[in-house]
Amino acid sequence: MHGSSSIILTGKQARYLRGLGHSLRPIVMLGRQEITDSIRTALDEALSAHELIKVKLQEGCLLDRHEAAGQLAAATGAAVAQILGKTILLYRPSDKKLITLP
């Protein structure tokens, strides 16, 4: 697991990631159970494999979307590239260097 040192993105990097994330489907769904260890593990594995992932907040989610994004980013050491509706786009570079930021 990664610590709470979140990545800070520049405006240009965030725009670039939003462009890449446009066609992605949500990998992790956050429901009523909020942020559990199993959600953290799923996010960690997804970020390690893909670097850029979408998380969908479902109807039963009790967290505010901005609050949820902050907690997810802190739990995984990721950066929030976008919050759009009930979808959060998270980015964390991996050893594979799949995405080259501008």
Q: What topology is assigned to 11-91 in CATH?
A: Translation Initiation Factor IF3 (3.30.110)
Residue 4: pLDDT band by 50, 70, 90 thresholds?
very low
Whether 40 and 76 have beta carbons less than 8 Å apart is answered as yes
- Mean of pLDDT values over 75-84: 95
6: pLDDT strictly greater than 90: no
CA dihedral 9, 10, 14, 19 (to 10 degrees): -140
pLDDT at 16 over 80: yes
Contacts for 37 with CB less than 8 Å, ≥ 6 apart: none
**pTM value surpassing 0.75:** yes
